[in-house]
Amino acid sequence: MACRHESDTTAPFPGKREHPMHILITGGCGFLGVRLARTLLAGGPLALAGAPARAIARITLADRVPPPADLQADARVQFVPGDLCEQVDNGALPLARADALFHLAAAVSGECEADFDLGMRSNLNATRMLLQACRHAGHAPVFVFSSSVAVFGGSPEQPLPAVIEDSTLPTPQSSYGIQKFIGEQLVADFSRKGFVQGRSVRLMTVSVRPGRPNGAASGFLSGMLREPLAGERARCPVAPETPVALASPGNTVAGIIRAASASAAEWRVRTAVNLPALTTTVREMAQALEHVAGRATSALIDWEPDAQIAKIVTSWPSRIHAARAQSLGLSADPSFDAILRSYLRENPQAHQWPRQ
- When pLDDT is cut at 50, 70 and 90, the band that residue 128 belongs to is very high
The verdict on 145 and 240 lying in the same domain is no
For strands 301-303 and 273-274, give the pairing: unpaired
Average pLDDT over residues 166-171: 94
Q: Does residue 211 belong to any structural domain of this protein? A: no
The verdict on 135 and 225 lying in the same domain is no
The least confident of 43-52, 117-126, 306-315 is 306-315
pTM value is 0.90
Q: Look at residue 203 and tell me whether its pLDDT is greater than 70.
A: yes
CB atoms within 10 A of CB 179: 28
Long-range contacts (CB closer than 8 Å, 24 or more residues apart) made by 62-66: 62/24, 62/25, 62/26, 62/27, 62/28, 62/87, 62/93, 62/105, 63/26, 63/27, 63/28, 63/29, 63/30, 63/33, 63/105, 64/29, 65/29, 66/3, 66/29
Average pLDDT over residues 100-114: 92
Cβ-count burial of 86 within 10 angstroms (0-12 exposed, 13-18 middle, 19+ buried)?
exposed
The verdict on 321 and 198 lying in the same domain is no
- When pLDDT is cut at 50, 70 and 90, the band that residue 353 belongs to is low
Q: Does residue 223 belong to any structural domain of this protein? A: yes
The verdict on 324 and 237 lying in the same domain is yes
What are the residues facing 252 on neighbouring strands? none
State the pLDDT at residue 137: 95
The verdict on 254 and 313 lying in the same domain is no
For strands 243-247 and 205-206, give the pairing: parallel
Q: Does residue 167 belong to any structural domain of this protein? A: yes
CA–chain centroid gap for 116, Å, is: 21
- When pLDDT is cut at 50, 70 and 90, the band that residue 311 belongs to is confident
The verdict on 149 and 198 lying in the same domain is yes
Average pLDDT over residues 10-19: 42
State the pLDDT at residue 20: 84
Q: Does residue 41 belong to any structural domain of this protein? A: yes
Q: Does residue 210 belong to any structural domain of this protein? A: no
Give me the number of domains the chain comprises.
Answer: 2
Q: Does residue 209 belong to any structural domain of this protein? A: no
Average pLDDT over residues 324-333: 97
State the pLDDT at residue 18: 53
Give the separation between CA 326 and CA 314, rounded to whole angstroms: 25
Are the CB atoms for 229 and 351 separated by under 8 Å?
A: yes
CB atoms within 10 A of CB 138: 10
The verdict on 259 and 299 lying in the same domain is no
Are the CB atoms for 196 and 256 separated by under 8 Å?
A: no
State the pLDDT at residue 244: 95
> Quick check: helix, strand or coil at residue 152?
coil
The verdict on 70 and 195 lying in the same domain is yes
pLDDT per residue over 208-262, tens digit each? 999 877 767 889 999 999 999 999 999 999 999 999 999 999 999 999 999 999 9
Q: Does residue 13 belong to any structural domain of this protein? A: no
State the pLDDT at residue 213: 75
The verdict on 100 and 199 lying in the same domain is yes
State the pLDDT at residue 351: 72
2 or 54, higher pLDDT = 54
- When pLDDT is cut at 50, 70 and 90, the band that residue 7 belongs to is very low
Average pLDDT over residues 196-212: 94
Are the CB atoms for 143 and 190 separated by under 8 Å?
A: yes
What are the residues facing 4 on neighbouring strands? 78
Give the separation between CA 192 and CA 235, rounded to whole angstroms: 45
CATH number at residue 66: 3.40.50.720
Give the separation between CA 107 and CA 105, rounded to whole angstroms: 7
16 or 130, higher pLDDT = 130
CATH number at residue 324: 3.90.25.10
State the pLDDT at residue 146: 98
The verdict on 94 and 235 lying in the same domain is no
Catalytic residues: 176
DSSP state of 329: T
Give the separation between CA 127 and CA 333, rounded to whole angstroms: 30
pLDDT per residue over 134-143, tens digit each? 999 999 999 9
Q: Look at residue 91 and tell me whether its pLDDT is greater than 50.
A: yes
Residues spanned by the domain of 333: 217-244+278-350
Question: Which amino acid makes up residue 191?
Answer: S
Q: Look at residue 127 and tell me whether its pLDDT is greater than 50.
A: yes
Q: Look at residue 272 and tell me whether its pLDDT is greater than 90.
A: yes
The verdict on 233 and 265 lying in the same domain is no
Q: Does residue 313 belong to any structural domain of this protein? A: yes
The verdict on 74 and 164 lying in the same domain is yes
State the pLDDT at residue 126: 97
pLDDT per residue over 39-90, tens digit each? 999 999 999 999 999 999 999 999 999 999 999 999 999 999 999 999 999 9
